[in-house]
Chain A
Amino acid sequence: MTALRMAALLLAAVMIQGVLPRTARGAPGDFVLVAVVAVGLLHGRVAGLLAGTVAGLLQDALGGGMLGLSGLGKCAAGYLTGVVGTQFIVTQWMSRGLLFLGASALNSACFMGLSVLLGLRRYDNPLLDAATQAVINAAAGVLLFAVIEFAPTAREQWMLLLERRRKRRYH
């Protein structure tokens, strides 16, 4: 069940990232990375590692880049997020935001570093690019956890409302 939920989250992130150019006219956020960090935080380091590997390879294969470039940064980010999630209490929005910022910076450092090292890409302003992406990812990550935490409460309230309506109709 957990694996299925993880796969669904990753697939949803891939779909959202893929349709962004159609809706938001392109955004510098990496929502696949956000999903990987969320998996690491929710299900631990092994899940984060595997989710990062799969998501990164997917991005590389579909983006036309060198296979493994995105995967390396994402598996490291997923694993370390899992480690941090089990060693520290990461429940406040601020600490989650920082975790997403750190994971995003690590991912960007791996991807940009390897790309420059192998002469595959040019960056005019790598720090600004990485920082912009990290801030957007952190905001998306905090929002995602707010939704995840609000979902059970919303479901309960919805069920209560349905129950009340049913009783009113019965009486």
Chain B
Amino acid sequence: MSLDELALQALNGLSFGALLFLLASGFTLVFGLMKIVNLAHGAFYLVGGYVGIATFTATRSFLAAILAGAATAAVFGLASERLLLRRVRGQELPEVLLTVGIALVIADGCLAVFGGNPRSLPIPGLLAGSVQLGGFAYPSYRLFVIVLAAVVGVVLYVVQHRTRVGALIRAGVDDREIAEAMGINVPRVFTAMFVFGGALAGLAGVVAAGLLTLRPGADTDILLFALVVVVIGGLGSLQGAAVGSVLIGLVDAFSKVWVPELSYFAVFAPMAIVLMFRPAGLFSRSRA
């Protein structure tokens, strides 16, 4: 493998990792605050992506597609949290089972509305070309995804650590009861976080539509990657999600080239290794 090929695969891995980060960050933030493993996160991603494609077809605007996709997924998040999850707050198992039910319904709804054929987003004007990097040309869209994920990551980190909203959330994570006693409306913070997590999943869905294809079953495929990322990084940790995403993105890209028959399996190996030595993940603040 020449240096150019190596760089090419590394960029492929980074751009897929960037997509995984967009997805996993919402998943891990929701878990960090609410202790809910949202197995409907992949379904939010799918519905956001489909709506994004439909919006782009209608308006030819990528920005509109992103906003519509994120907003749709956010609305599903809002409905799930307000109507269903709130009723079983704090009960681990019913919460996660409800998200399984929600995922079944949304995925079937997507099949009914958008059909079973694979769909993807025609890459919009400015991002459609490629950039000459050393000895090879690389698609601009993939570079855009990397930049977008980096920006989102930095914004999330700054909001979490430097702003009042972030302080509210960290207070809710650290000690819910004290936060409530201090006058913070914790249920409202929870709802807002769940809606925001949904919006991130929707955003990831629209971005993914230009990178991969969306079809029935894509929701559970990508959910596996998100799970592996957060298990490696540590549930609830934003930095962990970033490191895990890059790691899994790279493992995925190189295993597809070197051991194509084991490509799915290769993603699982880092998770098993991490679990054996650090069951709570690399960056977890909580005890295992």
**A and B together in one complex:** no
Residues of A with Cβ closer than 8 Å to B? none
